[in-house]
Amino acid sequence: MITFDRVVKRYGNSVAVDHLSLQIKSGETVILVGPSGCGKTTSLKMINRLIEPTEGTISIDDRDTRTYDVNDLRRSIGYVIQQVGLFPHQTVAENVATVPRLLKWPKQRIQARVEELLDLIGLPAAQHAKRLPSELSGGERQRVGVARALGADPNILLMDEPFGAIDPIARERLQNELLRLQRVVRKTIVFVTHDIDEAVKLGDRVALLSKGGVLEQFATPEELLAHPQSKFVTEFLGEGPLVRRLALIPISEVALTPVNGAAPAESVDAGGTLRDALDAVLRSSDGRVGVVKGDQTLGIVDADVIRSASMRSR
C-alpha cells in the first residue's frame, strides 16, 4: 500500500504537485493520468525518491519512505520509463540481472531468475539472453525494461509512460501483455500516461490530475466515465465516454436474451466486449446479434440489452 499524505512539490514559486493525498492498495493498478505538465512524473518519482517532496509524506505499508536508505528503497521498487534506459553496453541478460546483482544474489539464483523473467515477457533466454539492446525492436526493448524492473521481484512497479514511444499496434499488444503479466505477478502498479483510453483500459483505478498536480477524481474507470466529477474531468474524457466505457464490459458478464427460434444472421464472439456487441448490432439488418462460443449460440444481444447492462454497472 502506497499512501500520499498531503504531498507538495514546489520548484521555486511554481507548484508541480499540490497537496496530493492518495491511497494505492496492494496489488492494484493505479493510473495517474492528466494533461502534459500536470505533475504525473513528479508524483511518480517522489515514490522512489528520485524527487524529494517539499512537504507531506509518502509511505509504503505505513512506513515513511524517508526512513529507508534511498538505494535500498529503490532496489525494492521496479521502475520503467518511456525511453527504457537499458544499459547499451550490456546484454539483455545482464540488464535484467541489474538489481539482483546489486543485491548480491548468488550467481545461480540470478541466472535462474533472469531465465524466468525472459520467459515471462516472451523473450526466451536461449534466443535473447545474449542480444544487445541495440539489436532489439522498440517493443522488445520495452519488454526487457519491464523484466529488468521485475528483477528482484519487487512488490511495487512504477511505470512512466512506458508505451508512449511505441507505435499503436505494438502498444496495444504491450498493453494486453501488461494486463496478462499483472494477472500472473499481482504487483502494486503505479502507471503514468496522458492517454485516457490507456488509463481506462489498464487501470483498476484512475487518478485524474489537472495542472499543478490537483487530484480531480480518483475512481474506477467505470465510475470515472459514468460520473465525471468536474467540468475538467468531462473535458478530459472527451467525446463519447459511455460508448468507450462499453469496451470495459465483457459480454460474458451481461444478461442475454434467450434464443427463441432462429439464430440471428449477425454474430459476435462471447469473448468480446459490449463495444464489439454494439458494433455488430449496428452492422446487423434487424438489430439482433447472436453471441456465439464455438458453434454454439449462447443468447441474443440487442440495443436494449446493451443499455440495461451499461446502466446496471454504473
Partner 1 sequence: MSVFQYIADNWGVIEPQIVTHLEIVGECIAITSLIGLGLGIAAARSEPLSTVIMAVTSTILTVPSFALFGLLSIWFGLANPPVIVGLVLYGLLPVTRNTRAGIKAVDLAVVESARGMGMSPLQVLLQVELPLAVPVILGGIRQATVMIVAIATVGATVGVDDLGQTILSAIGRTTGTIDAVLAGIIPVALIGILADLILAGIQRALSRGRVSVAAT
Ligand X SMILES: Nc1ncnc2c1ncn2[C@@H]1O[C@H](COP(=O)(O)OP(=O)(O)O)[C@@H](O)[C@H]1O
Q: Which stretch binds ligand X (CB under 6 A): 33-41, 76-84, 113-121, 276-284?
A: 33-41
Q: Which CB, 39 or 145, lies closer to ligand X? A: 39
What minimum distance in Å lies between the beta carbon of 170 and ligand X?
22
Residue 140 interacts with partner 1 (CB under 8 A): yes or no: no
Among 71, 230, 234, 257, binds partner 1 (CB under 8 A): 71
Contacts of 208 (CB under 8 A, 6+ apart): 33, 34, 199, 215, 216, 217, 218, 224, 232, 233, 236
Angle at 129 between CA 128 and CA 133, to 5 degrees: 75
Name which position in 36, 67, 108, 285 contacts ligand X (CB under 6 A).
Answer: 36
40 is an interface residue for ligand X by CB under 6 A: yes
Q: Residue for cell digits 441474443?
A: 300
Residue that has been written with the C-alpha cell 512488490 in this structure: 155
Residue from 20, 31, 84, 306 touching partner 1 (CB under 8 A): that is: 84
Query: CB of 37: closest distance to ligand X in angstroms?
Result: 4
Q: Could you tell me whether strands 205-210 and 214-219 are parallel, antiparallel, or unpaired per DSSP bridges? A: antiparallel
The single residue among 89, 293, 312, 314 that binds partner 1, judged by CB under 8 A, is 89
Confirm if 236 and 244 have CB atoms less than 8 A apart: no
C-beta of 30 vs 270, nearer to ligand X: 30
**CB 158 → partner 1: shortest distance, Å?**
8
Q: Which residue's CB is nearer to partner 1, number 102 or number 259?
A: 102
88 contributes a contact to partner 1 by CB under 8 A: yes
Instruction: Choose, by CB under 6 A, the member of 10, 21, 37, 250 that binds ligand X.
Output: 37
- What is the closest distance, in whole angstroms, from the C-beta atom of residue 82 to partner 1 in the complex? 8
Site for partner 1 in 106-135 (CB under 8 A): 107, 132
Residue (78 or 162) nearer to Mg ion, CB: 162
Number of Cα atoms under 13 Å in the Cβ half of residue 18: 12
* Stretch touching ligand X by CB under 6 A, among 35-43, 67-75, 143-151, 180-188: 35-43
Q: Cα dist. 52→17, 77, 228 in Å?
A: 12, 16, 31
Kind of pairing, strands 188-193 and 156-160? Answer: parallel
Which of 36, 108 has the CB closer to ligand X?
36
Can residue 178 be called a binding residue for partner 1 (CB under 8 A)? no
Q: How far apart are CA 17 and CA 210, in angstroms?
A: 10
How many residues contact partner 1, by CB under 8 A?
32
| Calpha distance 61→65 (Å, rounded) | 10
Q: By C-beta, is 79 or 236 nearer to partner 1?
A: 79
- Point out which residues pair with 78 in neighbouring strands: 157
**Window 34 to 93, contacts with Mg ion (CB under 5 A):** 41
Q: Give the residue with the Cβ less far from partner 1, 102 or 303.
A: 102
Q: Give the phi and the psi of residue 209 in degrees, each rounded to 5.
A: -105, 150
Under rule CB under 5 A, residue 188 binds Mg ion = no
CA distance 212 to 204: 24
Which 3 state secondary structure label does DSSP give 296?
strand
Which residues fall within 8 angstroms of residue 127, CB to CB, at 6 or more apart?
Answer: none
Cα–Cα dist 164/91, whole Å: 24
> What are the residues binding ligand X (CB under 6 A)?
11, 16, 34, 36-42
